[in-house]
Amino acid sequence: MTPWVLRLIVANVVIFFITLNSPPIMDALMFVPAYILIRPWTLISYMFLHGGMGHIFFNMISLFFFGPRLELVLGGRRFLMLYFISGIAGALLSFIFSPDVPIIGASGAIFGVMLGFAYFWPREPIYVWGILPIEARWMVVGMTLISIVSGYMQLGQIAHFAHLGGFLGGYLFLKVIDPGFRKTKVETTASYPATGPADLERWSKIQRENLHVVNREELDRIFEKIKATGVGSLTSTERAFLDRFSTQ
């Protein structure tokens, strides 16, 4: 698991148990659209609150599955920016379309992470309920449509517009706020020192079975890329990933 994904999960779990039987703390930290000007900190604090075990479980398991690979690509600073911008965008869209509905939960931020995952790996299969495969890009499209319909029909006690705001925030970060990331990554790759036989030999000795499942999948993906397009196609992030695990 990557550093900031782990820290965010720990922070969410700790705050969940702190606020579990503390309604005054929960009330002070939740986002209430009508109080946005007098309680601006709730644009951030609401992301760390959850209404029950199921709520926090599904948010954290999503962060666990989608977050690490995205953090490896973006780096910690960019990953946090995407996360919090998505969460804030979720609150603001709820403010616009559901001004009377208080919201809690990391869902807006998590949806931004999902959007980021689909942006970099659009054809990656996601197994719904562990059974039904769907490409990441179509998962985002489907969840967007569901959130739009459910939001306007006011179905369930779910902040549907916060979910849409999360997608919007993630998109704005990747396409507007930090649009040069892909270009920067390509330029960095071009200036990366040439890879020699010693590097390939060292990478081949990485103990795959000792890696976390997420890192194992990333390792497999990188080796498949080397096989298909050669070592010269690796980005600096991918080489740094291999270097990190080959020295452990």
Active site residues: 107, 163
DSSP string computed for the chain: --HHHHHHHHHHHHHHHHHTT-HHHHHHHSB-GGGTTT-TTHHHHGGG--SSHHHHHHHHHHHHHHHHHHHHHH-HHHHHHHHHHHHHHHHHHHHHH-TT--B-SSHHHHHHHHHHHHHH-TT-EEEETTTEEEEHHHHHHHHHHHHHHHHHHT-SS--HHHHHHHHHHHHHIIIIISTTHHHHHHHHHHTSPPP-HHHHHHHHT--GGGS-HHHHHHHHHHHHHHHHH-GGG--HHHHHHHHHHHT-
